Amino acid sequence: MAKEKSFSEFTMKDWKNFGIYLVLIGLLIMFVANEWLIGLGFFLVGIIFLAIFQGPKILKILKKENW
């Protein structure tokens, strides 16, 4: 059985995955449960997590000159 991690043991990959999970949970709540405010909250928090942890990589890709 997998051992539980504390927040201090999370790696960058774990935080990126957590952001993706929040986005997906938000979408699920919005479209399946029809709770728009709660779903939008989860969605926006997930987007913020992804912007923090994936933002530099996305900006580096967008700055490439040879498209």
Split the chain (67 residues) into runs of 10 and give each run's mean pLDDT. 74 79 88 86 86 74 65
Question: What's the confidence (pLDDT) of residue 15?
Answer: 76
Question: What's the confidence (pLDDT) of residue 19?
Answer: 81
CA distance 63 to 28: 33
Question: What's the confidence (pLDDT) of residue 42?
Answer: 85
Question: What's the confidence (pLDDT) of residue 65?
Answer: 65
Question: What's the confidence (pLDDT) of residue 31?
Answer: 87
CA distance 10 to 26: 22
CA atoms within 13 A on the CB side of 58: 6
Residue written as tokens 């991690």? 5
Question: What's the confidence (pLDDT) of residue 18?
Answer: 80
Question: What's the confidence (pLDDT) of residue 67?
Answer: 55
